[in-house]
Chain A
Amino acid sequence: MALDTRTGRRPSFAATLWGSTVGKKTVMAVSGLIMLLYLVVHMIGNLKIFFGAAEFNHYAHWLRVVGEPFMHEEWTLWLVRVVLLAAVVAHATSAYQLSRRDIKARPGKYLHRKPRSSYATRTMRWGGIILGLFLVWHLLDLTTGTVHAGFRPGHPYQNVVDTFSTWYGNVIYLVAMLALGLHIRHGFWSAAQTLGVGSRARDRALKTTANALALVLTVGFVSVPVAVMTGVVS
């Protein structure tokens, strides 16, 4: 048999990844893990609110001067913001494209609905949408203050207490943090499979880590509004 001679250029690594379902999922896994890493740091930072306004506001100020004198004021902050923005865009775009494809690939429904996958697995899409909407609200509320009446730039402690003194501030936040916990519970384990590091031997450890991360992040984030509601932080 005669084989045809290859003349075309080989597609690049990035093109091969983005052009396939398996590769796009890899983009999702990596961007998800970047956001996850950020959220762990963010959650720990938030806990400083329990040490009072001075310490929390000082910490918020420090975020603007990290890396000085090598970095100019806010350079580090903007670097983190750019990476996170890229991660969110990559994650949401691949989620959207893959989900559309998945829905199209399975047009008919069976008469019986007996999903054997977990609740966290089945709520990834809705959970993701909730997280996306929350993200927009959260930035407008506590970063820019656009939707926050009485927002005081440079006074994050007061702004946080202010937000969690409204019922809707608490509801939005609590719903989003529950969605986050579920998203991470399936997402972390799933990303391990996507990146090819899961195995029978490691499955227990990966599932336990996923559950622990989900629980610690949810409890950590939720502790702030609960503290404001109960008057521990005011």
Chain B
Amino acid sequence: MRLTLRVWRQKNAGAEGAMSTYEVDGVSSDMSFLEMLDTLNEELILKGEDPVAFDHDCREGICGACSLVINGEAHGPERTTTCQLHMRSFEDGDTIDVEPWRAAAFPVVKDLVVDRSAFDRIIQAGGYITAPTGAAPEAHATPVPKPDADFAFEHAECIGCGACVAACPNGAAMLFTSAKVNHLGVLPQGAPERESRVLGMVTQMDEEGFGGCTLAGECATACPKGIPLFSITKMNREFVRAARRGR
């Protein structure tokens, strides 16, 4: 395949960015989108140019490091992560636009790399269970009803990629935050901190400069892990409940 890429290039956080056009040849339809970018970067390095910076790690759809808005869609046209998006989803001769996540709370570091540490601070504000570490506890010591376990697991699938924020017209982090709040809140281990967790995480989410929810639903459509929009509904209820209890 031969493709025309238009890629966002930005030297650093303070610099002005712009789209640059590149031709890439010899792309196999079995390549992942990131391998296609690797191909481009090899050529750029050989030519002595600065390679395109982009985030990646596991390349198997489980770590949440990869990003990219491809032709206006977070993680591109398929419902998966960019590392698991294959070039067979495109046609020979296509022009593909590649942009970074755009949100005030996710400033661009370089090219397609954005700073997602705002998510880490939301997690630090309550997205954990306070427990002594050590040997793994006996699995059957705390029974968890099957529906609760399934509910928790559905939300535990969130990999923290930030596609929800990138897709949201308000740059809101509601889907991510609600996935974490619901995952831990429904489990017996998470119950003692149920109220302080949601209050802390929502407060931090607001402090990071994310927008509010208008129930546009773009986040759930973009999420590679299928976190449902109703996750937000549930968090809203949890928040009001916790605010009423005052802790």
Footprint of B on A, CB under 8 Å?
10-13, 16-17, 20-26, 98, 101-117, 121-122, 124, 186, 189-190, 192-200, 203
Contacts and interface: CB of A to CB of B under 8 A. Distances in A.
Contacts of A193: 215, 229-230, 232-233, 236
Contacts, number: 141
Interface string B29-64: 000000000000000000000000000000000000
Contacts of B73: 112, 114
Q: How large is the interface on B (under 10, 10 to 19, 20 to 34, 35 or more residues)?
A: 35 or more
B105 interface: yes
Given A11-B246, A16-B243, A193-B215, A104 B104 contact: yes
Contacts of B72: 110-114
B233 A20 contact: no
B179 to A, nearest CB: 15
Given A114-B72, A117-B216, A17 B240 contact: yes
Given A10-B246, A23-B243, 11 more contacts: A13-B246, A20-B203, A21-B202, A22-B235, A98-B212, A106-B103, A110-B99, A111-B19, A190-B214, A194-B215, A198-B233
A54 to B, nearest CB: 46
Nearest to A196: B237
B234 interface: yes
A98 B211 CA distance: 8
B176 interface: no
B210 interface: yes
Contacts of A16: 199, 243, 246
Contacts of B236: 22, 25-26, 193-196
Given A13-B243, A199-B230, A105 B71 contact: no
